[in-house]
Structure formats: C-alpha cells, structure tokens
Amino acid sequence: MRRLTEKTVLPLLLVMVITSGCSGSSSDSDGGASDISSGSTGGGESSMTVTIVDTGQTACYDDSGNAILCPSEGEAFYGQDAQYTINPASYIDNGDGSVSDLSTGLMWRKSPGAKVLWSELSRGAASLAIGGYTDWRVPTIKELYSLINFNGVTGTDVSNASPYINTTYFDFSYGDTSAGERYIDAQYWSSTEYVSTTMNGDATVFGVNFADGRIKGYGRDQSDFGNRGYLFVRYVRGQTSYGVNSFADNGDGTITDHGTGLTFTQVDDGVGRTWQEALAYCESLGSGGLTDWRLPNAKELQSIVDYTRSPDTTGSPAIDPVFGVTSIIDGNGATNFPGFWTSATHLDGLNPGEYAVYIAFGEAQGYMEEPPDSGNYILMDVHGAGAQRSDPKIGDPSAYPFGHGPQGDVITIYNHVRCVR
C-alpha cells in the first residue's frame, strides 16, 4: 500500500452503498459509502469491513499549541492527524428527526432530548418511533465515539467554545449554568459498562463528553454521581457490526483487524515518548517489511480497545491478548498499563493545541483530594481503562505532582506508541 499524503483518502477494502433508511439531500462530504462487517469477533478474516470515520481535524499544530503550516515528510511534526484524511464523515439529514451516517452505516436521533438517568435509558429507547423505526438503542461507546470531531475547542466558557460534534447535522447544547451545571456538562451515555469500578467503588458507564472532547467513565447511579447523574443520550439504530473486531496475527509482528481493514504493530517497544517523537517513530517504522506506518488517529486507536478487560478485572490491559502491551508500575506501586498517543491534537485548556489525545489501555488514574481541601490526595482509577484523555505534548511530568483538572488526571507526557497502516 502506498503512503498516504495530505488530504488523501484511504481506499476502502470493500465498498457497499447504503440504500436503506437514507433519504434527503443534505450530505456533509463526498465520502458517501459504507462497509458492513460480518460481525465476527475472533481471529480469521471477515468478508466485509466497517469504516472508521475520520476525526475531522484539519489544522496542524506544534508541541507548544501553535497552529502551523502542515509539515512535509521528514520535517518536525509530520504525520499528525490533519495530514491523513481517511474516510471523511458523510451525513444526511433525513428530515424526520434522524441523521444517517453514510460512512458507518449508523442512523442517529438528531436531538438528544432532555438529560436522563441511566435507569431510564431502555424505556426511552423503547418509546421511540422516529422515521417509523422502532429498533432504536443506546449506542455502544465505539458507536458513540464515531461522532466525535476534533475540530472542537473546549474553551473557558460557551463564548469561546466549539462542540466536538458536527452541529450542522446534530442538535447540541452545553450544560445549563443557570441550573448549577458547568457549561462542559454535555456528557452522553453509552451502553458500555466498565467491567471494574471507578472512584470509590462506583459502578461506572463509559460516555463521551462532546463539550470537552473526552471518553470518561461516569457513575451509573444517581447516588454515585450527585446531580450530574443525568446525562444526555443520542439513540442509534442500524447495522450492529460497528466496533466488532476480527483480529488476525500476520506472523510478522503485525495484527490486522479484518473488522476495520486496519493493520497495527503487535507490540509496543516499551519506550515512552513525547508526541513529536511518537509521530516520528511511526513515520520511520519498517515493521513487517512495510514503510507506510503512521501514528493512529483517536478513533482508529480506540477501535481496538477491548471494553471487556481491565487491570482490576482481568489483570490485563483493555485490549485483545493478541497484542502485547508493556506493563508499568503506577504511583501506588501496582502493575498497570500505559496510555498510547494518537495523532490528534486536543484543543483543550488555556493554551489550545498544547495537548494531544491518548487512549488509556490501563486504569485512567487521577489524584482525588479526600476529604476536599484536606491536602490528602489518593491515587485511584477515575475514568476507567479505555478512557480517552489528553496530555501535554512535551514537558516534565513532575510538574504535575497531583495531576491536572477536577479529577487530578495523571499527567504522563511520555506515552507509548502503537503504529497503524
């Protein structure tokens, strides 16, 4: 396979035009085709693939948060997300309260409606008949994450923020600050429960925050999550193979997922790198005799998370054991597993562009001050193995002794690398 260049679309392995459930004429791009997976879960080749839709990021950045001209091959910061437009999003507003995603084959409810408790989700899905369909469901975390758009900006309030979702097609609202919410309280439920617990033993469900661009674990029960036990839900219907993996060991240090058509390096090399170093490492890699490796974008890397696994539950990272992951010793002296860089810049914080996205294959830990204002910090799993967070692209981790943000997210900076082609 030839190396992709800027704004080149990766040829799909198998294209199947969607004809069911798509009406209307408003389309987001020329992407317009979908691959439908056979839904197999084990090794062995699947006959059809499901498209991992592009993140939508269009600008390039350095490690200080500055927007830059996208570099040429061999230059610093080459290989970042914006330089590989792969399977661009392609939406159709069906004019009946639903939106079809031609890239994934999924149909979505256009409006999330009011926030609801976890216990209300099934009843809400069963009551929907949008577009004449009655098979609406709560999306898995992989289905829900397919909608994230990394042109979003977290900002400091609504006036300088931009959602991490395409608002041309999907209704979106920030948190209601007049009701005591934060403006970033725009979290959405998925159907994917964490196989372990977070915080102080809370039953946890993964969700996507389309206001700040993250996957986190949220308390399943209102008593665990206070007033923020109410989250949005965007119901989905359609093909059920999105996010189903079909891994095959190629015997040359690479693993192909026939569920998506992507090939990944089988093991990481045990080295933590800055974001710039991670980009350069994949661009120069020659594993399996191939030279078109790159750092995966956020959706590509998240596609291989195995949400049935966690360090606490299975003693393993949240990934199929066909892959090798270097273990680390965390701040509690326990065995854990590292985060892995993606090629996407996260436009978050006071200096947007300074951070880049990573996926936590081990516990997504943070330092919680308990009791509040006591100076007593406890390191715990705050967001769950399989969370998506972000780290500064460069710097000294010791400058963040109790992490960053309201849950004290551990700052690593030197994350590990798994390349894709």
What CATH number is associated with residue 101?
3.10.100
**65-117 pLDDT tens trace:** 999 999 999 999 999 999 998 899 999 999 999 999 999 999 999 999 999 99
Please give the single-letter amino acid code of residue 193: E
| pLDDT above 80 (res 392) | yes
Other Cβ atoms within 10 Å of 350 Cβ, number: 9
Supply angle C-alpha 145, 147, 152, rounded to 5: 100
Q: Is residue 29 part of a domain?
A: no
Give me the DSSP letters along 274-315: -HHHHHHHHHT--GGG----B---HHHHHTTB-TT--HHHHS
Residues 6+ apart with CB under 8 A from 414: 272, 273, 274, 397
Angle ∠(128,129,134) on CA atoms, nearest 5: 90
Q: Residue 121 domain-assigned?
A: yes
pLDDT of 170 strictly over 80: yes
Nearest-angstrom CA–CA distance, 139 and 236: 6
Q: Residue 134 corresponds to which amino acid?
A: T
pTM summary value: 0.89
Q: What is the pLDDT of residue 23?
A: 36
Write down the pLDDT at residue 99: 98
CA distance 275 to 284: 14
How do residues 293-343 score in pLDDT, each as one tens digit?
999 999 999 999 999 999 999 999 999 999 999 999 999 999 999 999 999
Q: Which runs of consecutive H residues, i.e. helices, occur in 109-162?
A: 121-126, 141-145
The total number of residues shown for the chain amounts to 421
pLDDT (tens digit, 9 = 90+) per residue, 49-66?
Answer: 788 999 999 999 999 999
Residue for token digits 């001209």? 69
pLDDT digits (tens, 9 = 90+) for 273-292: 999 999 999 999 988 888 89
Residue 168 has pLDDT above 70, yes or no: yes
* Average pLDDT of the residues in 169-179: 96
Q: What is the pLDDT of residues 356-368, one digit of tens each?
A: 999 999 999 999 9
Give residue 349's pLDDT band: very low, low, confident or very high (50, 70, 90).
confident
What is the count of structural domains for the chain? Answer: 1
Residue 188: give the domain boundaries. Answer: 95-238
CB atoms < 10 A from the CB of 113, how many? 13
Token pair belonging to 193: 């429960």
Q: Residue 106: which H helix or E strand, with range?
A: strand 106-109
* 125 belongs to a structural domain: yes
**Enclosing H/E stretch for 276:** helix 275-283
Q: Buried (b) or exposed (e) across 245-280, using 16+ Cβ within 10 A?
A: bbbbeeeeebbbbbbbbbbbbbebeeebbbbbbbbb
Name residue 265's beta-bridge partners: 254
pLDDT score for 119 = 93
Does residue 102 fall inside a structural domain?
yes
Residues 6+ apart with CB under 8 A from 274: 63, 393, 394, 413, 414
